[in-house]
Each structure stands twice: as C-alpha cells, then as structure tokens.
Structure 1
Amino acid sequence: MAEVIHDDVLERILIGLDVKNLIRCKSVCKSWHFLIKSPGFIDRHLNYSYNKDRCNSELRHRRIFLVNEFACTCYDDDHIVGSSNGLVCVSFNSKLLVGNPSTREVRPLVLPPWIRLSSCCGFGYDSFRDDYKVVVGGPKGENQTCVQVLSLKSNIWRVIEEVKYVFIRKVGILWNDALYWIVRDSENTKKLIISYDLSKDEFKEIPQPDDAKYECTSDTYLGIVKECLCIFDMSPGSLFDVWLMKKYNVKQSWELLPHDGESQYDIVHYLKTPKDYILPEGFLLPDKSYVTKYNLLEVPVFVQSLVSPHHDKTVNLTSVAV
C-alpha cells in the first residue's frame, strides 16, 4: 500500500528545492503543477530563499552582474537597472526588459518616447500595492530631471516629479522599498543622497554621516552590505571606508565598518546575454559563480524565485525550457 504524503508535508519539501528542480517537479502530476505555480507557494518559496541566504554565516548577499556572452564586460548602453524578488530589469540595446533569470521568463517594456535612461533609472517592489515599478529619468531643462514611473500591473508610464537634481550615479540602489541615488543639487552644487519611496511615490533627502572622516565626492558610491544601505569611496589610494546606515533616515545610525572586521563574502552570478542582443528565449543565468569581497557592493542583490515578470504571480511552467 503506497504511503500518502500530506499536502503540508509535501509543500515543506518542495519549498526547499531550487527553481530548476521545481520546474522539473511540475511534470510529476497536476496537483504538484498547480501547487508550485500558486501565488501562496511562490510567496513562501521566495521567503524561504531570502531566509536561506540570511542564515548562511559565510555569505553576505548574492549579486547579479550583466556581461556579454563572449567577454566579461558590458557596454555603456547595457546595464542592470535593478533586481527585486528574483526579477531583474535590464537596459539592453536601447530597450528595457524585465525578466526572471531562474525561469527564463522575459517581458519587454516600452520606454516613454523622449526618455532613453539618460539621467537615472531604478527598479523595485512596492510592497504596499504588491506591484513592481520601473523608474526612469531624463533631462528637462537646465539641471533638472523629469522622473517617470511604470507600474508592471498597469503597464502605464506616469510623471512623478521634476526634480532639480543632476544624478551623479545613474542606477538607483534598492533598500527597504526605496531607491537611492547620489545627486548634485542644481542650486548649490552640494552632493546629496536622495531616496524615492516606491509606495509613497515621493523623493526625500537622506542625512549623511556626521564625521570628519566622511566626505561625499565624485568617487563615492552607494551599495548594500549586511542588508544595510552603505556608502563607500572608490578613489585611487583610498582606504575603502564603508559606512552603513543601520536605521532608515536616521543620521545617528551611520556606522563605519571596521577594515578587518568583515569576513563574509558575496556570491556574484553572471547574467549572460546572446551575441545578437535579442532575448527570444529569455535570460541565461549560468550555474557557476565566483566569490568577491567589497569591489561590487553597488551591484544589485539577487534572490532565486518563481515570481513572474508579468506579475500575475504565476509562471507558465509548461513553457519554460529546463
């Protein structure tokens, strides 16, 4: 007599598998197929993936880096706009795509007519509306940027604000449901850190470290360390000081990371693209990865998931190539 596996036990077993094996499991039977593509399972598998990395004492983050298929470099027009919950937004040959490298599902986006990602861009998850948003900005007059946002649910671009900033760093860093950039204030040329809250649709200036050792320069970058927003200097001869913001928008929470106190590393995955810069079958995320420390802090954090770029919270697993 065959033993019956209860649904809750089966789900706990399946949630522990990676996406590649889950896609294979969908062919076992119809009940497994519908379970794996259900919104609740997708959410719980995503949470498991996050927690699995957090509990790994030897790992800070997994990161994802865009490269040409035949060279470990990416062109100026080709870069990752951002990554959130397993989805990756890529500016690719003057096109904009959102895809899931694990499932190889891709969704092309149409840019606003006059914007070509020339000033700023970013991608992230709006937890309040359960939606993903693409943010792009283009020059509007002298020292001013018109910022627009696309909701994946509505597929409509709308103008958020015309800000009087010049963006020094083009790609926004995602942290705590907000995107962050280093900018120059057009009125007094002061360098600032600003955030765009994806849920509230508003910009805010972020206080910087109040310390004589700290200075925001043209070689200053933003990134993520220990799940915290960080600032670091990449100027030649610098000591590579890394400042962490422990609490959102709290000036006193900035903390200088000890140079010899960090033993964890990041895993960096190469996101490769076809030679002809067309993605008919989706992204290719190689299984191989390498370990790095510090030098790619600004690279987006990546987590494996089943989340669909079409954002119906399901994946057409029957059409995914394994």
Structure 2
Amino acid sequence: MKKKKIPTLPDDLVTKILLLLPVKSLLRSKSVCKSWRSLISNPHFAKSHFDLAATEPTHRVLLCTKINSHSAIESLDLDAPLTDNSSVARLNLKVPNFYSFDTLGSCRGFILLADLENHVFIVWNPSTGVRVKIPLSVAFLYDPHSPTVTRNLISASFTTLIGKGIGYDESRDDYLIVLMGLDKYSCLRIEAFSLKMNASYCICGIGVGYDKLGRDDYNYSFGLFFNQSLHWLVMSKARQVPVVLAFNLIDRRLSEILLPAESLALSPQFLNIMGGWLSLCFEGYDETKIWVMKEYNVHSSWTLYYHLALENTRYESCAPIWFTKGVNVLGSARGGLIKFNVEGELIERRACRACDLKLMHYDIYRESLLSLPSYFAKDEEEAPTDEKSKQETVREPGRRSKKKISCHRRWTIEN
C-alpha cells in the first residue's frame, strides 16, 4: 500500500506568501525547514521583501540610554502603543562608554554607530543582528592619539566637522559613510567610505562658505538620508541664514534647500522624515512647529503642518520624531517618550530609564532583512536566534586595499 504524499504548495506560491510577512515573522520562519531558511537568507528575497514592504514599512526607534555606570539599548515599534511592552525589543549590543559612543544615522535598515573608545564604526542591522566593524583608521585619516580628534571630529582632514551619516547609492548598490566639514583653508570637503569597494573617496574644492549651525551641533551634524541624498542643517555664510545642504549619493552633487521664510524667526532644531516628507522641527520659547516639504526640493511646497503650544503642556521642551498612523505625534521629552494629539493633549507616555535627554541617543530605522553588498558581505555574521546570545559574534574586515580610490574635483552648488 502506497503512503499518501503530503501535499505541498508550489515554490513560487510559498515565496509570494513569505514576502507578505513582517521581518520578525520571517526570522522565526527560518527555523521551519532548510528550504525556507535558504530562501529567506537569499539577498534577492531580502531586496524583494524590502521593495514590496515600502508601502507600509515597519519603523522602530532605537534608544541608547545611560543608566548609572552602564548603557542599555532597546527598540520600540513606532506605531504601537507606548505602554505595549510586547513591542519593545532589548538588544545586546555592548556599549563600553556612553560618552564615546554615538549614533550617526540610518539607511535601509542599517544604523551607523561610532565607538571612539575602540576606534571603530559599526554598521548594524538591529532586525537581523548582522553587523560589521570598520576601524576608523581604515575608513578615514584617523589618529586616536591626536589632540584634534574628538567625539565630533572623526577625521584629521577637518578643522570643523559639519555633517556625518550613512546613505545608499542604488546605481552602484553601495553604502557610503560620509563626513563633511571644513579643511584648514575653510573650504568645504567631503570624504566618503565605500563599503562595497572598501575604499575612500575624497571630493573637495568648494569655495562657497558654510559652517556648522549652533554650538551644540549634534542635531545638525546628524545626516538624514532621504530621496537618494544625505541632508544636513548648516549655516550659509553668504545668506547669513540656516539652509539644508543635500549631497546626492548617485551623481555626487550638492544642492541647497532654502527654509520657509516664515520659519526664520524660530530656531531650527533638526531634520526628520515624517509622514513620508522631509520635515523640519523649530522651537521657540514656548512653542514647537513642524514644517514639511510636500514636494521634494520645491520651496513653495513648505507647509506648516503642526503647531504645539508648550504652555498647554507640562513639558518644558519636546522634540517630535514621528507621526503615528493616526494624527498623533510621537516625541522625546525629558523623562522619556510621549505621544500627544494636535491640541497638545498628552495621550500616553513611556518613561525612559535615562532621566535626561543628554543621556539618551536615539535613531529611527526601518525593519529589513538586507545585508551589506560585496566586500563586507563575507564579513557579516548572523547572530544566533536566541535573545541571550544574540549579536555577540562579529568578525572585523581586513585592511583596506592599498589601491585607494580618490575623486578630487570641483563642482557648483545647485539652488
């Protein structure tokens, strides 16, 4: 008597079904069978899943807080209730020294971290646990013993560091770590490290005057990747007003985005992506305003989207970081995260274990299964699936090739 064969679904149908699952479910599904593990681990599947989920992606906020003598890292689902502990994931990335550790930006599910105590960049996918360490001396002109190298000045090429961040060049399938600053001649200089080529690029020769914005430049130097470009808030010496400087990673060109004229009376705090738009948060003495650019790089499309009168709240300051799926706003304030409506009424809050915003780093990232391309792909290690041992094993890449790729050229500013 023949045994009945267990019916199975066609492979292409299985693929279509799996592509509809969120990242967390896919990571669990890798344990079902070898074929599923192989499929979900395939870079082409990861890219297809990333592209398909673009309409309704899952975003999380990464919080790194200082608690007494140690640091803790956790992430929260931005659209989940703040009181929902099931949406919180505690991550086991070790932070040896909070004050020498910084988040420098995020891109396509990867977060760029700088650990100046151990002199490395860390490119990390919190969703999968995959990460690589890149020695700062490999990526840039970095001398840990130089008195000019500080938390805010990673490369010895700069006298002033204006911007830093990570972005993706889809035309070359390459991730770039980018630094922008002034050299000893006060000329704007851009240095980029290619993760695909394991080589540095130097683009310099701008005679147009820019400078960092404000004394505390953490919010301003943070590079926001959006629409194929990294964006920074800077001071235009020629205009004597703040502007957004955008560096396109595909054509390697700079352009200026002027701020709305009505906003110049307030102090711009930081750039963000809210509601799928480039947004700017402004703070006055007792108010916070959010302007959004509804059509990218079209000045007339700047729209005052949100106005919060802080006198109606019990918070001295609030930094909006996200629009939830409804009409509510999620923001960071002294003591943790808060969610409030358009009238400024508090809906819910989540206490943070760090009581001071100065003792908290945060970044927003999108969940993804993506891995790093080419050179660093062979150096990635997938973390074990159990939370206790997750994210503990990492191999560092070898030294950069002696053949250094440099691109020295001049360009013009696009208005």
Please point out which of 4, 15, 19 is paired with 2:8.
4
* 2:154 counterpart of 1:116: yes
Partner residue, 1:154 = 197
Distance 1:51 1:67 in 2: 31
**AA in 2 matched with 1:232:** C
Cα contact 2:180–2:188 (8 A) shared by 1: yes
Cα contact 1:37–1:317 (8 A) shared by 2: no
Partner residue, 2:366 = 303
Cα contact 1:173–1:300 (8 A) shared by 2: no
Distance 1:131 1:101 in 2: 19
Partner residue, 1:31 = 35
**AA in 2 matched with 1:9:** L
**AA in 2 matched with 1:23:** L
Distance 2:38 2:29 in 1: 11
Distance 2:21 2:240 in 1: 51
Please point out which of 288, 313, 334 is paired with 1:240.
288
Write out per-residue CA displacement over residues 219-249 of structure 1, whole angstroms, 9 at most, x where no aligned residue. Answer: 4321111011111213432x21111101121
Write out per-residue CA displacement over residues 180-210 of structure 1, whole angstroms, 9 at most, x where no aligned residue. Answer: 1111124554322111111111111112214
Distance 1:82 1:318 in 2: 22
Partner residue, 2:383 = 320
Q: Which has the higher contact order (CA 8 A, sep 6+)?
A: 1
Partner residue, 2:103 = 80
* 2:327 counterpart of 1:263: yes
How far off its partner does 1:257 sit?
0.6
Indicate the SS of the match to 1:79: strand
* 2:234 counterpart of 1:196: no
* 2:116 counterpart of 1:65: no
Task: Show structure 1 runs of 5+ residues with no match.
Answer: 55-60, 269-288
Indicate the SS of the match to 2:57: helix
Write out per-residue CA displacement over residues 269-317 of structure 1, whole angstroms, 9 at most, x where no aligned residue. Answer: xxxxxxxxxxxxxxxxxxxx96646999x96431111111355797999
Cα contact 1:65–1:80 (8 A) shared by 2: no
Partner residue, 2:272 = 223
Aligned pairs, number: 292
- Which residues of 2 match residues 10-49 of structure 1 at below 5 A? 10-49=14-53
Cα contact 2:162–2:234 (8 A) shared by 1: no
Cα contact 2:196–2:376 (8 A) shared by 1: no
Pick closer, same or farther for the CA change 1:13–1:232 going to 2, 3 Å. Answer: same
Pick closer, same or farther for the CA change 1:52–1:171 going to 2, 3 Å. Answer: same
Identical aligned pairs, as a percentage? 26
TM-score by length of 1: 0.77
Distance 1:116 1:300 in 2: 20
How far off its partner does 1:174 sit?
1.6
Rg comparison, structure with higher value: 2
